[in-house]
Chains A and B, each alone.
Chain A
Amino acid sequence: DIQMTQSPSAMSASVGDRVTITCRASQGISNYLAWFQQKPGKVPKRLIYASSSLQSGVPSRFSGSGSGTEFTLTISSLQPEDFATYYCLQHNSYPQTFGQGTKVEIK
């Protein structure tokens, strides 16, 4: 199985900060990588697919990059509604596997 490791696991940030979350795959997955946002008690929401494609309706402050084994999700200017847990997902091979999550909290 491909292991997905996110860093950091948790972070504190302020409104307006630039935030970067990293996801590393235990083996190459090309660009078969998606990012999801989940707020407490809510359903996960897809932000990014194919490593860098922005989901329709998602604000442009979210961006994704990477290929192979290292990927990043960047929030260019953190907004109050962005405080949430973020997950990466690889779908290069079965079983599809999520990272453990990165909780972004208010500083």
Chain B
Amino acid sequence: EVQLVESGGGLVQPGGSLRLSCAASGFTFSDHYMDWVRQAPGKGLEWVGRTRNKANSYTTEYAASVKGRFTISRDDSKNSLYLQMNSLKTEDTAVYYCARDSPYGDPFDYWGQGTLVTVSS
């Protein structure tokens, strides 16, 4: 069974940093592209960024709203995905989901349960 479990959310002050983790199981993690998607309270879904797999050099893509502040990485030996968030702003407050892309390139066939990040003073 595919499982994605996020952790690391919490309360952080504006300008602070936080690192989210996503532990994957039930599939060959190293084969898949992985994404982060967020949802601000009461709002819609927003794609944050993607990491490709080893075969595609672990390259990354980011939404303009987070580029230069957020970094996506992965450790295939630990079946884990990460989101390093720096220079956090109040508008980064959201539930952050990790999501898997299918082996055929179609996005978000499985999602984690999400972790809440609150940026507030």
Contacts and interface: CB of A to CB of B under 8 A. Distances in A.
Interface of A: 1, 34, 36, 38, 43-46, 49-50, 53, 55, 87, 89, 91, 94-101
B46 A98 contact: yes
Contacts of A97: 47
30 contacts: A1-B64, A34-B106, A34-B107, A36-B108, A43-B111, A43-B114, A44-B37, A44-B45, A44-B97, A44-B111, A45-B111, A46-B109, A49-B102, A49-B106, A49-B107, A53-B106, A55-B109, A87-B45, A89-B47, A89-B107, A89-B108, A91-B106, A94-B61, A95-B62, A95-B64, A97-B47, A98-B44, A98-B46, A98-B47, A99-B44
Contacts of B64: 1, 95
Given A87-B45, A95-B63, A98-B46, A44 B108 contact: yes
Given A43-B113, A43-B114, A100 B44 contact: yes
B111 to A, nearest CB: 5
B33 to A, nearest CB: 11
B106 A50 contact: yes
Interface residues of B, number: 21
A87 B47 contact: no
Contacts of B112: 43
B77 to A, nearest CB: 27
Interface string B59-103: 001111000000000000000000000000000000001000010
